[in-house]
């Protein structure tokens, strides 16, 4: 993405908070994994959205209308000795040209210079976080101003209300990036299908997926990949990926890459041996029909809840037809009797985060879908072998099926970004045997 994209985002945000406001956004810090080893650094999504900057220990301050510069970035200074160990830094000297900010300042000057940017502003907007030390720093700077008898902001506002609204609708550049993340992820799922055979371990398919991500410049998964063979598929967030794949079982893979900070999120379920059994195919086709019904109503003017309701109805009808559920449709939905088989909702927003920001409802009403929004469509049905399903014929036990795609809402309907990953059972069998 280019400088202009990030500049436009900052300008839109400053227009929302108004000329008498100041906003402060903290970048992410490095996180220790163990001893003196850090996790690979990943920038805070809100901070990246406004800057494109990918170094730790940085703070962005927006001061609309300030003559000396509306956009101030505090960041680490250049230091050849440190850079020899951790890699090159941008430094304040290059930040203005490279990032398009007005003022760039050494982070070591933050306690001295940042409070000045708060002075004479009516309201302060910040992202209250789970890391209280950031919140404490904001209050420290406000207290510092008051001690100096300078005018400090009277109101403290939550910036997420406005910033996350901006993030919800994706620009053309964002859509292009997410389309590429989807393409890479689809190829990874195809590779896993082609590689699969009885006797492999789940982690071996995981390795195939990660390799495909890396081969196309996606340096990390967007979330820990789920490779769940057999009844492991009935565990929603199964990430052990350690069991052996057995002949006659299904394997559920929920995996998506992160490409240039944007996530894909795809699930495919397929037979380890390459051929569905009669029961597996029957239940799979129920889930597939539910997904098609959900995608059909994911369009502008409809609501966020509509895909879930469409898929739920299809799933329940299918489970009744298969004899897995004994009650009638209205009774099942009214009394929520489907919840032991239909564990999760159908959709979540997608973007810089896998479960991306943005309200799904407003004042008790479901959000209306608009051009530029991206959401997942992921119905699933799960029949674990336990006391909750003892009334179900054992031939269905241990089957878990989820089918998930990434869907962009367009002006006249939608685009399934991840359509490159096969999901019709005939296509899957053909691919695996081919």
Choose, from 33, 38, 88, 355, the residue flagged as catalytic: 355
Choose, from 98, 216, 348, 367, the residue flagged as catalytic: 348
Contacts of 364 (CB under 8 A, 6+ apart): none
Asked about 433 being catalytic, the answer comes back as no
Joined together, the tokens standing for residue 221 give 């998964």
Q: Which helix (H) or strand (E) holds 123?
A: strand 123-126
Choose, from 40, 133, 149, 237, the residue flagged as catalytic: 237
Choose, from 356, 378, 406, 429, the residue flagged as catalytic: 378
Asked about 189 being catalytic, the answer comes back as no
Pairing mode, strands 71-75 and 103-106: parallel
Asked about 79 being catalytic, the answer comes back as no
Cα separation, 218 vs 117, in Å, equals: 38
Cβ–Cβ < 8 Å for 25, 47: yes
Choose, from 258, 265, 306, 405, the residue flagged as catalytic: 265
Contacts of 428 (CB under 8 A, 6+ apart): 193, 268, 270, 271, 276, 422
Asked about 404 being catalytic, the answer comes back as yes
Choose, from 70, 206, 353, 404, the residue flagged as catalytic: 404
Q: Which helix (H) or strand (E) holds 288?
A: helix 278-297
Choose, from 202, 402, 405, 429, the residue flagged as catalytic: 402
What are the start-end ranges of the E strands in 132-256? 155-158, 220-221, 226-229, 250-255
* Other CB atoms within 10 Å distance of the CB of residue 12: 13
Choose, from 36, 387, 391, 412, the residue flagged as catalytic: 36
Asked about 102 being catalytic, the answer comes back as no
Counting every residue written for the chain, the total comes to 434
Cα separation, 399 vs 236, in Å, equals: 13
* Other CB atoms within 10 Å distance of the CB of residue 172: 9
Choose, from 183, 254, 258, 260, the residue flagged as catalytic: 254
Choose, from 382, 405, 406, 429, the residue flagged as catalytic: 382
Asked about 313 being catalytic, the answer comes back as no
Choose, from 137, 191, 216, 344, the residue flagged as catalytic: 344
Asked about 348 being catalytic, the answer comes back as yes
Could you write out the DSSP letters of every residue in 60-95? EEE-TT-TT-SEEEEEPPP-HHHHHHH----HHHHH
- Show which residues are catalytic: 36, 237, 254, 265, 344, 348, 355, 378, 382, 402, 404
């Amino acid at each position: 993405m280019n400088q202009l994209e990030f500049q436009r985002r900052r300008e839109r945000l400053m227009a929302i908070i108004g000329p008498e406001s100041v906003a402060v956004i903290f970048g992410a810090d490095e996180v220790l994994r163990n001893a003196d080893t850090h996790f690979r650094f990943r920038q805070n999504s809100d901070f990246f959205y406004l800057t494109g900057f990918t170094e730790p220990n940085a703070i962005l301050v927006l001061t609309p209308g300030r003559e000396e510069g509306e956009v101030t970035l505090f960041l680490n200074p250049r230091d050849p000795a440190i850079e020899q160990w951790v890699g090159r830094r941008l430094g304040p000297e290059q930040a203005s040209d490279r990032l398009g900010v007005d003022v760039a300042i050494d982070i070591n000057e933050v306690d001295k210079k940042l409070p000045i940017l708060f002075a004479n502003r009516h309201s302060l907007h910040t992202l209250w976080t789970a890391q209280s030390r950031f919140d404490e720093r904001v209050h420290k700077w406000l207290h510092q101003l008051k001690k100096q008898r300078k005018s400090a902001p009277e109101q403290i506002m939550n910036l997420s209300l406005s910033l996350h609204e901006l993030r919800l609708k994706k620009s053309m550049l964002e859509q292009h990036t997410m389309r590429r993340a989807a393409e890479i992820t689809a190829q990874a799922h195809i590779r896993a299908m082609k590689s699969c055979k009885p006797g492999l371990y789940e982690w071996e398919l995981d390795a195939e997926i990660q390799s495909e991500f890396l081969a196309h410049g996606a340096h990390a998964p967007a979330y820990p990949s789920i490779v769940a063979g057999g009844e492991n598929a009935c565990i929603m967030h199964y990430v052990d990926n350690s069991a052996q794949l057995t002949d006659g079982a299904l394997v559920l893979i929920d995996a998506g890459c992160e490409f240039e900070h944007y996530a894909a999120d795809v699930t495919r379920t397929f037979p380890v041996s390459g051929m569905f059994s009669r029961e597996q195919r029957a239940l799979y086709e129920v889930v597939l029909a539910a997904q098609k019904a959900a995608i059909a109503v994911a369009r502008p003017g409809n609501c966020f809840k509509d895909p879930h309701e469409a898929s739920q109805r299809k799933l329940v009808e299918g489970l009744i037809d298969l004899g897995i559920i004994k009650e009638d449709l209205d009774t099942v939905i009214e009394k929520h009797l489907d919840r032991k088989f239909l564990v999760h909702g159908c959709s979540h927003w997608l973007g810089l985060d896998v479960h991306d920001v943005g309200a799904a409802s407003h004042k008790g009403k479901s959000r209306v879908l608009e051009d530029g929004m991206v959401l997942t469509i992921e119905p699933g049905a799960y029949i674990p072998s336990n006391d909750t399903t003892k009334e179900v014929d054992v031939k269905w036990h241990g089957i878990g099926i989820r089918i998930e795609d990434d869907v962009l809402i367009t002006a006249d309907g939608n685009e399934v970004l991840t359509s490159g990953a096969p999901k019709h059972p005939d296509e899957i069998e053909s691919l695996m045997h081919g």
